[in-house]
Structure 1
Amino acid sequence: MSPYYTPPGSLPPQNRIMPGRAVFATAYAFIPQGVFSDIVTSFLPGWNDTRLWLIARPMTGFSETFSHYVMRVEPGGGSDAPDPETGAEHVLFVTEGLVALTIGEAAFELDAGGYAYIPPGTPWRLRAEGAAPARFHWIRKLWEPAPGLTPPEAFVTNETEIAPVAMPDTQGRWATTRFVDPEDLRHDMHVNIVTFQPGGTIPFEETHVMEHGLYVLQGKAVYKLNQDWIEVEAGDYMWLRAFCPQACYAGGPGAFRYLLYKDVNRHAKLRGPGAFGPAR
């Protein structure tokens, strides 16, 4: 059995009381696991036997730099032309099933915990193998050129092959599985896994320039989003705009883990002259 939560789909029964946890605010959005029903799935051109939950997309008042799909591909399904956006870079993280992935001429098999980075302009193909559906996260971002930098190379790994790095002064209660070197400035996004042991905390209000997307893979916690403390559990999703305060208390009894997106290593975009109106 996979250790990562995946949306079961279907619809809740008619006699269920609506929990009412979903929030869409100016500084953040919170999409609880109960929202991931069949009625809110989407389909993509070029993909066969596939449906997805599209949980973040660039739009006014929401995600500015990325999109995040939670994919379900039936056995034998997939795509030979996954994305017409040639400038997009991609991260895939497999939570269940078996994925046959081809990047350029190189072929790979990914199971639960499998992670792939695909740079912009790189042809790739994907098929679900085995008897069960393949489920994975797909995060897309337009790679931002910068002087002296070229896009990173493609790579495939599994989170079990990477030792988590403990945050300083946390006695190992808060650690991050980093799939790329933070000092490699070619990467303009990081997609990591953050793990809190029971009782672990973010003991201050993080307020910084990165936009965040957090999908809870395991466990539960109380998470601060802007001014609100929200109980979160496996299968919940949080989007935080830049500078939204955040903090966390991991609730146990097991580890609290989430897949984290953030934009990094680029200048802040400036608006053109006159964007703020005449000087006063």
Structure 2
Amino acid sequence: MGYINNNIGYPKDLLASRAVIKRQNFALIPPDGLVKNIIPGFENCDITILATPKLGASFVDYLLTMYQGGQNLQGFGDDGIEVFAYVIEGEVSAKANEQTYHLQTGGYIYCPAGVKLYLQNLMPSSRLFLYKRRYNPISGYQTRVIANHIQHLERVNYENMDNVFIQDLLPKELGFDMNFHILTFLPGASHGYIETHVQEHGAYLLSGEGMYLLDNQWIPVKKDDYIFMGAYALQACYAVGQQPLSYIYSKDCHRDVEL
């Protein structure tokens, strides 16, 4: 129900939702129920704000649908703010530091703090996953613009399991205070253990179905769902159904805890 699936107007049944919101802990946000936001700079676009500091995240995630003529010529990002964009489906032109990148489904771009990202849609419609976060610099290290496609990334077994695979979208370098990964579970696969850690995640499900454990609560999830996992939220999943369960997610890393 809602603008994502163009199912609006009077309901034909009782109002209900699969959404689960536990502020400062975790959240499941399905596509049904998402609302449009108006954000300066985004033209001919529908954009939904997902995780924010109001939910408990140190970052902001967005779901962006760009239509014919959709663009952001004002620039996404700001001083001290790093940004990331992943093309869920479609084709866009991305510009950063006066260089233009052609991104298709599975393409992505990272811009360091202070480097604005400009976007133009090249299809009747394109859908993107956007991220921004205040960069935490350390002396002697820096970041750079990264533009790539997941087809060019190594897909390795996750923690010695031959039915779970991970791809690292950004370099494992100290200049980067975060990374993005794509984790893929073949049907029947699962995490090897229940994870408990200080890192936060914002995850968008790209395919499949599964059961996700969030703070000792098993919740069914599927393609196009969004999951926020806060610091120390217990987390693990099983892939169910006939398709691999795959999701892209962010992780803060490479920094000590500040007191």
Category of TM-score, reference length = shorter chain:
over 0.9
Match of residue 3 from structure 1: none
Matched, 1:62 2:56: yes
Match of residue 176 from structure 1: 166
Match of residue 274 from structure 1: none
* Gap runs ≥5 in structure 1: 1-5, 271-280
Whole-Å Cα distance in 1 between the matches of residues 116 and 227 of structure 2? 30
Aligned partner of residue 79 in structure 2, secondary structure: coil
Deviation at 1:123, TM superposition (A): 3.5
Compute the TM-score of the two structures, normalised by the length of structure 1: 0.86
Whole-Å Cα distance in 2 between the matches of residues 20 and 49 of structure 1? 28
Question: Runs of 4 or more off by more than 3 Å in structure 1?
Answer: 6-10, 16-19
Q: Is the 8 A contact 1:199 1:249 kept in 2?
A: yes
Aligned partner of residue 160 in structure 1, secondary structure: helix
Within a 5 Å distance, the mapping from 1:36-185 to structure 2 comes to 36=34, 40-59=35-54, 61-63=55-57, 65-83=58-76, 85-130=78-123, 132-150=124-142, 152-171=143-162, 173-182=163-172, 184-185=173-174
CA RMSD in angstroms, aligned pairs only: 1.8
Aligned partner of residue 207 in structure 1, secondary structure: coil
Q: Is the 8 A contact 2:17 2:33 kept in 1?
A: no
Higher strand share: 2
Whole-Å Cα distance in 1 between the matches of residues 77 and 239 of structure 2? 40
Aligned partner of residue 229 in structure 1, secondary structure: strand
Compute the TM-score of the two structures, normalised by the length of structure 2: 0.93
Q: Is the 8 A contact 1:28 1:241 kept in 2?
A: yes
Spell out, residue by residue over 1:226-275, the C-alpha distance to the aligned partner (whole angstroms, 9 max, x if none): 020001000111111111111111103110001111111112122xxxxx
Q: 1:23 to 1:123 in 2, by over 3 A?
A: closer
Whole-Å Cα distance in 1 between the matches of residues 89 and 159 of structure 2? 32
Whole-Å Cα distance in 2 between the matches of residues 244 and 135 of structure 1? 29
Q: Percent identity?
A: 28
Match of residue 262 from structure 1: 251
Aligned residue pairs: how many? 256
Deviation at 1:221, TM superposition (A): 0.5
Match of residue 27 from structure 2: 29
Deviation at 1:81, TM superposition (A): 1.6
Q: Which has the larger radius of gyration?
A: 1
Matched, 1:238 2:232: no
Whole-Å Cα distance in 1 between the matches of residues 183 and 102 of structure 2? 24
Q: 1:257 to 1:51 in 2, by over 3 A?
A: same
Whole-Å Cα distance in 2 between the matches of residues 9 and 232 of structure 1? 21
* Gap runs ≥5 in structure 2: none
Q: Is the 8 A contact 1:197 1:252 kept in 2?
A: no
Whole-Å Cα distance in 1 between the matches of residues 45 and 75 of structure 2? 11
Whole-Å Cα distance in 2 between the matches of residues 230 and 141 of structure 1? 27
Q: Is the 8 A contact 2:77 2:114 kept in 1?
A: no
Aligned partner of residue 17 in structure 2, secondary structure: coil
Matched, 1:20 2:17: yes
Spell out, residue by residue over 1:133-158, the C-alpha distance to the aligned partner (whole angstroms, 9 max, x if none): 121011111111112212x1102111
Q: Is the 8 A contact 1:165 1:178 kept in 2?
A: no
Range 208-217 or range 115-124, more displaced: 115-124
Q: Is the 8 A contact 1:201 1:250 kept in 2?
A: yes
Spell out, residue by residue over 1:98-133, the C-alpha distance to the aligned partner (whole angstroms, 9 max, x if none): 101111121111111111111111143211113x11
Code of the aligned partner of 2:30: P
Deviation at 1:73, TM superposition (A): 1.4
